[in-house]
Amino acid sequence: MKRWIYLLLIGFIAVAAYKYGYYQKLLAVSDKNTQRILMRLQEKPEPDPVQVETLTATAGQSSAAVSPYTGEALADDADSEDRVKEFFTLHPNARSLLLHSVRCNIDGCELTGEFTGQVSEFELMVEQLERQPWWRYGKASQKNATNTAKGRTRYFVLRYQAVVNS
């Protein structure tokens, strides 16, 4: 009878060791994919030579963004940034969304973060943001979204241009 107990114990240990190694490998792959996706989200396009000249000319000014059209320093739109953060914090699906950054100025607004859930829920949240009476950036001019290996988390970058009223 003792032999059977020892065989079961050895079998259990073998299965547990296999499962441990299997899950460690999944975690390593998941961490690599997450780091790769975050690096791609943080990549910035190369600036135009005109923008570089404008940035160097206004280097003595504050850290405000520079308009590529006029070359003047743009003030950050802290009010819009606060409203966007408040909108997503108070939204019913707020626990599914994690904002990494919100940067708004006179010319546009950029949101980066991650959303866990259905794509339709995320698109509905973005549409609701765009319909707010205080929102002055219109529809997203650029949408980038990347799924993780599991397919449930979407890393996104939304870029908006300010609406010009003529």
pLDDT single digits (tens) 83-97 = 888 888 888 888 888
User: What fold is seen in the domain 77-162?
Assistant: Gyrase A; domain 2 (3.30.1360)
On whether the CB atoms of residues 85 and 103 are closer than 8 A, the answer is: no
Residue closest to 72 by CA, chosen among 105, 102, 111, 109: 105
- Is residue 75 very low, low, confident or very high in pLDDT (cuts 50, 70, 90)? low
Residues 124-149: tens digit of each pLDDT: 888 998 888 888 888 887 677 777 65
CA 164 from centre of chain = 26
Instruction: Find the DSSP H helices in 43-130.
Output: 49-57, 78-90, 119-130
**How much is the pLDDT for 93?**
86
Residues 19-71: tens digit of each pLDDT: 998 888 887 777 777 777 777 767 655 555 555 555 454 444 444 444 444 44
- Is residue 72 very low, low, confident or very high in pLDDT (cuts 50, 70, 90)? very low
- Is residue 17 very low, low, confident or very high in pLDDT (cuts 50, 70, 90)? very high
* 3-class secondary structure, 131: coil
Domain map of the chain by residue range? Answer: 1-40, 77-162
Rounded Cα–Cα distance for residues 132 and 160 (Å): 14
* 3-class secondary structure, 96: helix
Rounded Cα–Cα distance for residues 119 and 6 (Å): 51
**How much is the pLDDT for 139?**
84
Residues 101-132: tens digit of each pLDDT: 899 888 888 999 888 888 888 888 889 988 88
- The conformation of residue 46, written as its DSSP 8-state character, comes to P
On whether the CB atoms of residues 132 and 98 are closer than 8 A, the answer is: no
**How much is the pLDDT for 15?**
94
